[in-house]
Amino acid sequence: MREIKVRCWNGKAMDYDCRDLTVLNGQLVPEGDNILMLSTGLRDRHGKEIFESDWLRIIDVNSTQPQKLGLVEFQDGAFCITVPFQDWRAFYCTLAALAAPKYGDGCEILGSIYESPHLFLLEAQPTPQEVP
């Protein structure tokens, strides 16, 4: 059984030791206006733990295309990376798919939607995004 790790955004800073949680109807609920994010149990190429709401740079070692910016979300029972495309549809794959040889270096955390809101503005644009 794996350890369940969470972090909370309190509106000003990320709290990796949030303990003010309640179980309500079988779900963890943070106290007050805190926003709860669950760890995926995976790490990026630098060993940093990946959580829900993290922005990732997806590194495809076999592609000549620009690297993509993706958002970690929980969809359809799995942690996924959502990558916007120009027609407003989103491509997403499970985080486990990044372990494939195609993605030799996997991904790199750039920030969260709360700590790096400017990346959210990039995600909202209807064109593929290049990440510097």
Give the Å distances, CA to CA, from 65 to 39, 117, 118, 125, 130. Answer: 29, 25, 23, 18, 9
Asked if pLDDT for residue 97 goes beyond 80, the answer is no
Q: What is the pTM of this model?
A: 0.75
Question: Is 35 or 19 the better-scoring residue by pLDDT?
Answer: 35
What is the pLDDT averaged over residues 41-52? Answer: 87
Q: Is 16 helix (H, G, I), strand (E, B) or coil?
A: coil
CA angle 92, 48, 71 (to 5 degrees): 25
- Which residues have C-beta within 8 Å of that of residue 98, sequence separation ≥ 6? 58, 81, 106, 107
Considering only CA atoms, which of 60, 59, 84 is closest in space to residue 70? 84
Contact 72/80 with Cβ under 8 angstroms? yes
What is the predicted pLDDT for the residue at 112? 92
What is the predicted pLDDT for the residue at 9? 92
Say how far apart CA 131 and CA 10 lie, in whole Å: 28
What is the enclosing helix (H) or strand (E) of 23?
strand 21-24
Confidence of residue 52 (pLDDT cuts 50, 70, 90): very high
What is the pLDDT averaged over residues 71-95? Answer: 70
